[in-house]
Amino acid sequence: MNVLGIHFGHNATVALLTDGRIVFCESEERAARIKNFTGYPRRVLDHIFTALAPRADIDLVVLSGSTGLSYAYLRAQKSEHQPMMPFQPHTARGRLHPLYQVSPWAYHTLRERIRDRRRAPLLDLNGPWLSEARDDFARRLGIGAEKIAFCDHHDCHVHATCFNVSPTEPRLIFTIDGEGDGVSATVSQYSAGRLRRLQTVPTRDSLGYLFAEVTGLLGMKPNEDEFKVMGLAPYSKVSNAERVRDRLAALLRLNRDDAFQAAIPMPDVRQHLIDHYSFERFDHLAAGIQMLTEDLTAEWVKRWIARTGIHKISLAGGVFMNVKASQRIAALPEVEEVYVQPSAGDESNAIGACFHGYRTLVLDAEFRPVPISDLYLGREFDDASAEEALRAGGFDTKFDVRRPDDLEDAVASLLAVGEVVARCCGRMEWGARALGNRSILAHPSSRETVKVINEAIKNRDFWMPFAPSILDSDMDRYVVNPKGVASPHMTMTFESTPLARQHIAAAIHPYDGTLRSQCVTESINPAYHRLIRFFKEKTGIGAVLNTSFNLHGEPIVCSPADALRTLDQSGLKHLAVGSYLVSKRDT
């Protein structure tokens, strides 16, 4: 049984489920080379139909989104990538709307009523937009319309999460993002294999929108650079963070129903921020929105645990890509166990769509979803592909190319003497985190390494921390983790030990000392585990610095050709690709 899950919104992604197991998942950005590609994921679908499952073998296609809103956007942009930008309170000529100048409250009220009126026909599940969407996707996919179904946006978030935890114990599942199908947050209960939604928060009360708009006000890209705001936050003094947090809290709070409630519609909050925060210092504003996010999400979780008596929780949705908020929630005394959906943004909805489709196709007794054990779900390239890329780009003559007897040992030796090495080996990781197979690696104790990677290779913002990949046997040496939260996918931060601040100083946040660790096990990634083990034998350090393998503003590399181009266009000196070690010649 084969089920395709397709998310065609922000960071369009496709997943393939076969007999209850996710066997492939990849975002269109990797092949298209456009970060956070939004639109029809043609390249990934072509790969699936060619290499994995012919169209005739697909039993069901599930699209993420159960209203016409997402498809209307796709249709308007003619299926080609366009960045999704929040609404601005301006006229078509770019001038501030005259009603806003007279009364911001009246302007927001009118906008909300107009928006609701325009959305109403799209929210009809049997309306013309969904009918057109089904026919359009049937035509594009070459699959019968009767095999195409839809799943609510936040239900996709929930389904991506719930089947990775035990079905025998009750669990609360929290989802929160900017919006999807008119909803910005939900609370659901998963018990005895059944799901029940307990709360729905509309878009107007969106914490995700507020964070995105603050990101834009700081001169960064909304829906992309929120992680930079989070990384910047610790540099502010706590007193300044609290002052800004208290001001922002007037815009969004938790009400008596334990739901988010906004003072003004969050999709329209930009002009308010411009009017009241334009002259607020950048680090104070970053720290204020981060503190508010942590406060609100932690209190939200705490209240629902009190209401239900359920102490095991799961977190999903783009806001929970905020690893510091996840750390704050995990530390709550009320939380017994927490599972954070890996790469919890909308790209995970393709996986949720697959599980939803699988659940509709089989009887309860036959429903046996297989938890996702690792994120190495993308395509893999053999040595022949690497050799072809070397020849095609002229890199076989431009660079030194060798095939070591033991590639992992050779890479570890370079890292041990302070060299930086990129790695493009094995199956590509799905999601936002590089987990060793499409990574830039370095010695984790050298602060000089940070400068080299930031300035010569990635043109990265100076305040952003790197992350460590740590052997499972060394986690307790470096990570403070009293609840034993699993961390194979970099889904939250932890406090670091004194030894970590010596051994892996370059791979922890330089200001607050937290680390976003990847626990590397031999069973999941034997080659990467072996590489770090060799590094430990040479240095005594059971971890390496890990950052994503890409140029600034580009997606993580996908193919050997991408990897070699990045090597050629950056200050990188060494690349492990397939079984080969490629090095620039000294000049």
Q: What is the pLDDT of residue 557?
A: 98
In contact, 247 and 297? CB cutoff 8 Å: no
Closest CA to 427 of 413, 437, 439: 437
Mean of pLDDT values over 129-140: 90
pLDDT of 390 > 70? The answer is yes
User: In b/e form, how buried is each residue of 409-448, taking b as 16+ CB within 10 angstroms?
Assistant: bbbbbbbbeebbbbbbbbbbbbbbbbbbbbbbbbbbbbee
**Structural domains of the chain, ranges and CATH numbers in brackets:** 2-86+126-155+350-366 (3.30.420.40), 165-340 (3.30.420.40), 383-583 (3.90.870.20)
In contact, 504 and 545? CB cutoff 8 Å: yes
Q: What is the pLDDT of residue 81?
A: 62
426 CB-near residues (< 8 Å, 6+ apart): 376, 380, 437, 525, 527, 528
Please, which pLDDT band fits residue 363 given cuts at 50, 70 and 90? Answer: confident
215 vs 104 pLDDT, higher one: 215
Q: What is the pLDDT of residue 79?
A: 60
Helices within 362-446 (DSSP H only)? 383-392, 395-398, 407-416
Helices within 218-363 (DSSP H only)? 226-232, 238-248, 270-277, 282-308, 323-330, 349-361
Choice among 91-105, 195-209, 259-273 with the minimum mean pLDDT: 91-105
Rounded CA separation 532/340 (Å): 25
Mean of pLDDT values over 154-160: 97
Mean of pLDDT values over 335-344: 97
Rounded CA separation 369/40 (Å): 27
pLDDT of 372 > 80? The answer is yes
Q: What is the pLDDT of residue 114?
A: 53
pLDDT of 121 > 50? The answer is no
In contact, 314 and 173? CB cutoff 8 Å: yes
Mean of pLDDT values over 310-332: 98
Report residue 513 as tokens: 């000392």
In contact, 158 and 352? CB cutoff 8 Å: yes
Mean of pLDDT values over 187-207: 95
Please, which pLDDT band fits residue 83 given cuts at 50, 70 and 90? Answer: low
pLDDT tens, position by position, 263-307: 999 998 999 999 999 999 999 999 999 999 999 999 999 999 999
Residue 9 vs residues 27, 70, 437, 474, 547: alpha-carbon distances, Å? 11, 7, 26, 39, 26
Mean of pLDDT values over 128-143: 90
Q: What is the pLDDT of residue 89?
A: 40
Rounded CA separation 7/137 (Å): 12
pLDDT of 316 > 80? The answer is yes
**Long-range CB contacts (within 8 A, 24+) of 111-118:** 111/87, 111/265, 111/268, 112/204, 112/265, 112/268, 115/267
| Helix, strand, coil distribution of the chain in percent, nearest 5 | 45, 20, 35
Mean of pLDDT values over 337-348: 97
Other beta carbons within 10 Å of 271: 21
Please, which pLDDT band fits residue 437 given cuts at 50, 70 and 90? Answer: very high
Rounded CA separation 559/46 (Å): 16
DSSP states of 202-218? EGGG-HHHHHHHHHHHT
Helices within 393-462 (DSSP H only)? 395-398, 407-416, 447-452
Rounded CA separation 543/518 (Å): 9
109 CB-near residues (< 8 Å, 6+ apart): none
Rounded CA separation 551/570 (Å): 8
Please, which pLDDT band fits residue 107 given cuts at 50, 70 and 90? Answer: low
**At residue 315, what are phi and psi to the nearest 5 degrees?**
-125, 135
Please, which pLDDT band fits residue 461 given cuts at 50, 70 and 90? Answer: confident
pLDDT tens, position by position, 535-576: 999 999 999 999 999 998 899 999 999 999 999 999 999 999
Strands (DSSP E) found in 38-144: 60-64
Q: What is the pLDDT of residue 129?
A: 76
Report residue 139 as tokens: 């035509």
Q: What is the pLDDT of residue 95?
A: 47
pTM of the model: 0.92
Rounded CA separation 320/279 (Å): 28
Burial class (CB in 10 A: 0-12, 13-18, 19+), 8: buried
pLDDT of 424 > 90? The answer is yes
117 CB-near residues (< 8 Å, 6+ apart): none
Q: What is the mean pLDDT of the chain?
A: 91
**Residues pairing with 476 in the sheet:** none
